[in-house]
Amino acid sequence: MSRNTKLLLILLALGVGMFAFGYANVPLFKMFCSAIGINVSTPQDIQRAQQETTLDKSRPLKVLFTTTVNDGLPILFEADKSRAEVYLGQTDEVQYRFVNLSADTLYFRPVHSVYPAEASNKYNMIKCFCFQDMVLLPHEEATRPLVYSFHNDLDPQITRVTMHYTLFKRDPTAADWGRKEMPGGGK
């Protein structure tokens, strides 16, 4: 076999391997996120779940809302309520307030997690600001909604869920600035 033929076969194998990795990347990413408690529902999954979910008034669920600001960002970040009691299948809305406390423009991304992790697989994020790059001008204030619900088949032993959001500083010159990292993040 000539050198050129060997090189062609190696390049073809490399191309096929890259295609296979790209094809498998989405399911692998979903498995990883599911394992660490991050919901990755697509808009179609959410719509299907909403159509199949009925309100179960026999199972109230306490939902706590917590926030953290990382990287020394001078941002006031809070939910309009610290807790809610909802029924499985019930849609609820929470408003999150962002206030830039500095004279600088701030670039950041909110990332959510749901605890316990088992609840993240039974959670519909209908509208969310999470996993989107955001900008706050000096002293600007913004409010963003989170609309969510939990499935009826949530483990009966789970009676309390914490929905936590963390803000991470972002570099607006980064190649991935402005892109969503996960499907179903909402607007």
Query: What's the CATH code of the domain at 47?
Result: 2.60.370.10
Report how many domains make up the chain. Answer: 1
User: In this model, does residue 178 exceed pLDDT 70?
Assistant: no
Residue 69 lies in a domain: yes
Residue 148 lies in a domain: yes
Residue 178 lies in a domain: no
- Chain centroid to Cα 77, Å, comes to 17
pTM for this predicted structure: 0.67
Residue 128 lies in a domain: yes
Model confidence pLDDT, tens digit, residues 34-89: 665 555 555 555 555 555 567 778 889 999 999 999 888 999 999 999 999 999 98
DSSP for residue 26: H
Residue 179 lies in a domain: no
> Which pLDDT score is estimated for 183?
37
- Is 47 in contact with 70 (CB distance < 8 Å)? no
Residue 79 lies in a domain: yes
- Is 101 in contact with 74 (CB distance < 8 Å)? yes
Cβ burial, residue 128 (10 Å; 0-12/13-18/19+)? buried
Residue 186 lies in a domain: no
Gyration radius (Cα) of the chain, Å: 21
Nearest of 90, 91, 88 to residue 58 by alpha carbon: 88
Domain of residue 96 covers 37-169
Average of per-residue pLDDT values in the chain: 81
